[in-house]
Amino acid sequence: MTADELVEGGRGGAAADVLVVGAGPTGLLLTAELELAGVPVTLVDQAAQRSGQSRALALQPRSVEILHSRGLLQPLLDDAVDEVPGGHFAGLPVTLDYSSWDTRFPYQLGIPQARVEQHLEDHLAARGIGVRRGLELTGLTQDGDGVEVSFADGTTIRAGWVVGCDGARSAVRKLAGIGFPGRDGRMSAVVADVVLEDNRAESNGRWELPSLVPRDGAVLTLLPLGDGVHRVLFTGPEQQLLTRADPIDFAEVSGALSNWYGEEVVLREIRWASRFTDAARQADRYRVGRVFVAGDAAHIHSPTGGQGMNLGLQDAFNLGWKLAAHLNGEAPEELLDSYHDERHPVAASVLANTRAQGVLMIPDDDIACLRETFLDLLQIPEANHRLAGIISGLGIAYAPGDHPLIGQRMPDLELGDGTTVAGLLVSGRPLHLRDIAGAAQVLVRPDGYVLWATDDPDGQPATDSSKASAVWAMASSPRSRTASSAAR
């Protein structure tokens, strides 16, 4: 493959301004955001084809919101397995009440990662962008004007910017010299897609929030994926004696199911299986010059709570509009530094809460007492609300300001002209709204967070903030939207 062939997916056939490495959910959404803004972008992946493995299983409410705000949600709703009201913390039997937050989507959308990837890839294909597959990144050097990238097959390409969305073992992160501090895993578990003979009387094809309370030193969850396939996740004493290199055989999975369900569930086939740990690591920098990392390339953690895919999608949503604004001459380069400043603390919080959930799952009498204490706390509405905001992503806020709306996610309010805030965000442009949400003016970033708000009908954001000035100018351009509201 020549360099020209590699970049022909970009607009006009020219070399891409941005090279996105990794075609998982993070890389696909980032590519969609850049394409929406008219930025030439090329998306490559090491794998020769998509694996089709289900992997992550749910979209949290904030991820559902951002996909809705770009008009990407409906195909996912049509292809979802189930809608699960609320969330959980460490599998404790008290539901986190997502409806306590102002959202149109107070549920987890049960849909395997493979289906999310397929729909995002179909969206890009309809826009003329394909994934260039079978390209293993082996070299990366950058200077003040661009990044030189080389692949195992001898292909080289020079891009203006590179974003590594290439997973936990990210070649981009390593070649860019970005540190990945943290700790190795202290427990091991198995996840698999399996075909079962399921004789449980209560099995009805619906999803339920998992119970991760240990029983005889083991934990197991089971969810239907449709067409007779189930997702099973389990861990116990046997798994702690095995390494990630040890194969997962029929006897191990069948034994775990039998120990948990007896004769109610019989294993027929393993579609795929993998071992994972609760390793927790985070990139020390999300940007080095013209190179960024996002998704699992920037952070890894236990899957407890179902936050991983969502964290990556929201990384992409944060970075995409900023990189596009700079490349389109609408924002200074300083805006790009806010990607690390905003997203690094969010991921650090996820690493912390997943580690806390892991502690609550330890089969120990003292930990059992701690679980009982947490159960009591989760029944207090304020505590439940706080944890629901953390797990769902609805509670994420960025730098506050002198108005209570600043830094918060903008509610998807109905506007006086019959549309909604999300409907206006479909273009990927910032919004200047008047007489809405208790403010005279609100400036909404393309990713749906309030950058500036005031009770002064004639006010303007301070010009000493490059971010505020740039977004204000973007919102004032003919491509953006200023609207007044009669929202209730």
Q: What is the pLDDT along the chain (488 residues), one digit of tens a residue?
A: 333 444 433 333 335 799 999 999 999 999 999 999 999 999 999 999 988 777 899 999 999 999 999 999 999 999 999 999 999 999 999 999 999 999 999 999 999 999 999 999 999 999 999 999 999 999 999 999 999 999 999 999 999 999 999 999 999 999 999 999 999 999 999 999 999 987 765 456 678 888 888 899 899 999 888 878 899 999 999 999 999 899 999 999 999 999 999 988 999 999 999 999 999 999 999 999 999 999 999 999 999 999 999 999 999 999 999 999 999 999 999 999 999 999 999 999 999 999 999 999 998 999 999 999 999 999 999 999 999 999 999 999 999 999 999 999 999 999 977 899 999 999 999 999 999 999 999 999 999 999 999 999 999 988 666 677 888 888 888 777 777 765 43
On whether the CB atoms of residues 128 and 9 are closer than 8 A, the answer is: yes
How many whole angstroms separate alpha carbon 252 and alpha carbon 199? 20
On whether the CB atoms of residues 447 and 472 are closer than 8 A, the answer is: no
How many whole angstroms separate alpha carbon 196 and alpha carbon 271? 11
Please list, residue by residue across 352-366, b when 16 or more beta carbons sit within 10 angstroms of its beta carbon and e when fewer do. ebbbebbebbeeeee
Task: State in Å, rounded, how far the first CA of the chain is from the last one.
Answer: 56
Helix, strand, coil percentages (3-state) for the chain, rounded to 5, are 35, 25, 40
How many whole angstroms separate alpha carbon 119 and alpha carbon 62? 18
pLDDT at 276: 93
The H or E element containing residue 371 is helix 365-378
Cβ partners under 8 Å of residue 383, min gap 6: 377
3-state secondary structure of 137: strand
User: Which ranges of 145-286 does DSSP label H, i.e. alpha helix?
Assistant: 171-175, 250-261
On whether the CB atoms of residues 339 and 319 are closer than 8 A, the answer is: yes
What is the token pair recorded at 330? 């609408």
Nearest in space to 362 (alpha carbons), one of 231, 237, 276:
237
How many whole angstroms separate alpha carbon 9 and alpha carbon 67? 23
How many whole angstroms separate alpha carbon 390 and alpha carbon 406? 19
The H or E element containing residue 383 is helix 381-392
pLDDT at 466: 66
How many whole angstroms separate alpha carbon 146 and alpha carbon 259? 56
Cβ partners under 8 Å of residue 249, min gap 6: none
Q: In Å, what is the CA distance from 395 to each residue of 21, 390, 398?
A: 29, 6, 10
Please give the DSSP secondary-structure letter assigned to residue 241.
Answer: G
pLDDT at 475: 86
Cβ partners under 8 Å of residue 2, min gap 6: 155
How many whole angstroms separate alpha carbon 33 and alpha carbon 35? 5
Q: What's the residue count for the chain?
A: 488
Q: List the Cα angle 219/223/225 in 5-degree steps.
A: 150
pLDDT at 259: 94
How many whole angstroms separate alpha carbon 378 and alpha carbon 374? 6
Q: In Å, what is the CA distance from 290 to each residue of 6, 172, 250, 414?
A: 20, 12, 47, 39
User: What pTM, to 2 d.p., does this model score?
Assistant: 0.93
What is the token pair recorded at 56? 């992550």
Burial of 418 from C-beta contacts in 10 A (0-12 / 13-18 / 19+) = exposed
Q: In Å, what is the CA distance from 239 to each residue of 86, 235, 248, 278?
A: 30, 6, 10, 13
How many whole angstroms separate alpha carbon 321 and alpha carbon 488? 29
* Residue indicated by tokens 């003040």: 144
On whether the CB atoms of residues 251 and 234 are closer than 8 A, the answer is: no
Q: In what order do the strands lie in the sheet with 107-110?
A: 58-59, 107-110, 82-85
How many whole angstroms separate alpha carbon 445 and alpha carbon 60? 21
pLDDT at 6: 46
pLDDT at 11: 32
- Enumerate domains of the chain plus CATH numbers: 3-57+112-181+281-355 (3.50.50.60), 188-277 (3.30.70.2450), 421-484 (no CATH)
How many whole angstroms separate alpha carbon 301 and alpha carbon 355? 8
Please list, residue by residue across 184-218, b when 16 or more beta carbons sit within 10 angstroms of its beta carbon and e when fewer do. ebebbbbbbbbebebeeeeeeeebebbebbbeeeb
Torsions phi, psi for 219 (to 5 deg): -135, 140
